[in-house]
């Protein structure tokens, strides 16, 4: 088994464990919240009792998916972070509060709170790891490792002296190897180093040249479509401030092209 195959099997096994952990943790947290809802106002309606936890746990799923989308677009979605945080804190707090609410007057052992808090915490962490693996798999697909070929040993060419110089002999009388003449040469200039890594920041004119066809195709200015065209389709590097400048320039061009529409508005 090659190293790449072993890594692939290990990643597949880890992915299966993460999926199983995510499903199991969400189920435990969801079922406990359903029990809490049944003991506090929704016991007469099993459908509502089992639907109620979705109002909390669904925030975690929606927030994580939106964070995955934002990560793929290389932007920060504060609403997604807020949704994930609200769902996670709410789920953990309600699971723990459900223990004290059903304990009556008896003292509740500390381990009961730990047992109630573990499933929602594990669900949050496992689902976050799952989304991260998906993000890495989509953004940077795993390729076969490229092994750098070893440089062949330098070959020393045996040069015959110019002018047919006589063959040298060793002290024993046997012919010796000819000694090549050494010529003074000027070392060639090293080539300019090739730039590696991420592409350089695109200029404003380059970004506008990419964005204008998108505006013409859509018939309007759509920031998300323009950002996707620049970063994901064209693969150019541009900061959020530079993209904002592009949108402002496009809006000025649109207003100058339709002054009558601007005055009527």
- Structural domain total, the chain: 2
Q: What pLDDT digit, counting tens, does each position of 41-58 carry?
A: 887 888 888 888 888 888
Closest CA to 129 of 41, 68, 75: 68
Q: What is the pLDDT of residues 61-119, one digit of tens each?
A: 888 888 888 887 888 888 888 888 888 888 888 888 888 644 455 677 788 888 888 88
Quickly count: other Cβ atoms within 10 Å of residue 128's Cβ: 19
In a domain, residue 194? The reply is no
Residue 257 lies inside a defined structural domain of this protein? yes
Look up residue 173 and give its DSSP letter. S
DSSP-derived secondary structure letter, 172: T
Global pTM? 0.45
Q: At which of 87, 120, 139 does a domain end?
A: 139
Cα 127 to chain centroid, rounded: 15
Domain finish residue from 88, 123, 139: 139
- Whether 38 maps to a domain, the answer reads yes
Please report the sign of the dihedral spanned by the C-alpha atoms of residue 40, residue 41, residue 43, residue 45: negative
* pLDDT at residue 144 in the model: 43
Residues 85, 66: Cα–Cα separation, whole Å: 13
Q: 16 and 133, same structural domain?
A: yes
Q: What is the mean pLDDT of the chain?
A: 74
* Nearest alpha-carbon partner for 246 in 219, 216, 210: 210
Q: Tell me the CB-side half-sphere exposure of residue 38, using CA atoms within 13 A.
A: 11
Percent of the chain topping pLDDT 90: 0
Which range is least confidently modeled, 25-29, 100-104, 241-245, 257-261? 100-104
Q: Are both 42 and 117 inside the same structural domain?
A: yes
Q: Based on the domain organization, do 127 and 214 belong to the same domain? A: no
Burial class (CB in 10 A: 0-12, 13-18, 19+), 25: buried
Confidence of residue 158 (pLDDT cuts 50, 70, 90): very low
Segments forming the whole domain that contains residue 40? 3-139
Same structural domain for residues 38 and 123? Answer: yes
Asked if residue 183 belongs to a domain, the reply is: no
Residue 165 lies in a domain: no
Residue 163 lies in a domain: no
Q: Hunting for tokens 């925030």 — which residue is that?
A: 59
CA separation for the pair 28, 59 (Å, rounded): 17
Instruction: Indicate if the pLDDT at residue 150 is higher than 60.
Output: no
Asked if residue 135 and residue 10 are part of one domain, the reply reads yes
Burial class (CB in 10 A: 0-12, 13-18, 19+), 249: middle
Cβ neighbourhood burial of 77 (10 Å; 0-12, 13-18, 19+): middle
Task: Look at residue 175 and tell me if it is in a domain.
Answer: no
Domain finish residue from 139, 165, 186: 139
- Cα–Cα distance for residue pair 71/46, rounded to 1 Å: 38
Q: What's the distance, Cα to Cα, between the start and end of the chain in Å?
A: 69
Find all residues with CB under 8 Å of 59, minimum gap 6, and list them: 83, 84, 86, 87, 90
Residue 104 lies in a domain: yes
Under 8 Å between Cβ of 122 and 25: yes
CB atoms under 10 Å from CB of 159, counted, come to 12
51 with 124, same domain: the answer is yes
- In sign, the C-alpha dihedral spanning 240, 245, 250, 254 is positive
What is residue 102's DSSP assignment? T
Residues 106 and 230 in one domain: no
Query: 254-260 — which CB contacts under 8 Å span 24+ positions?
Result: 254/215, 254/221
């Amino acid at each position: 088994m090659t190293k790449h195959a072993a890594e692939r099997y290990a990643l597949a096994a880890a992915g299966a464990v993460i999926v199983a952990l995510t499903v199991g943790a969400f189920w435990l947290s969801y079922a406990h919240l359903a029990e809490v809802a049944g003991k506090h106002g929704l016991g007469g309606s099993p459908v509502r009792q089992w639907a109620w936890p979705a109002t909390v746990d669904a925030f975690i799923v929606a927030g994580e998916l939106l964070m995955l989308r934002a990560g793929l677009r290389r932007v920060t979605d504060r609403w997604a972070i807020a949704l994930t945080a609200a769902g996670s804190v709410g789920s953990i707090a309600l699971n723990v509060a459900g223990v004290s609410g059903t304990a009556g007057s008896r003292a509740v052992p500390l381990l009961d709170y730990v047992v109630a808090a573990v499933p929602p915490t594990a669900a949050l962490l496992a689902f976050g790891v799952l989304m991260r693996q998906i993000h890495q798999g989509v953004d940077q697909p795993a390729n076969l490792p490229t092994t750098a070929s070893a440089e062949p040993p330098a070959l020393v060419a045996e040069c015959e002296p110019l002018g047919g110089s006589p063959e040298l002999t060793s002290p024993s009388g046997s012919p010796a190897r000819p000694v090549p003449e050494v010529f003074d040469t000027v070392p060639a200039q090293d080539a300019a180093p090739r730039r590696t890594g991420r592409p350089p920041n695109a200029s404003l004119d380059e970004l506008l040249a990419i964005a204008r066809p998108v505006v013409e195709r859509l018939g309007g200015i759509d920031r998300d479509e323009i950002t996707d065209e620049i970063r994901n389709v064209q693969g150019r590097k541009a900061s959020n401030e530079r993209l904002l400048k592009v949108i402002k320039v496009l809006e000025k061009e649109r207003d100058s092209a339709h002054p009558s529409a601007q005055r009527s508005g």
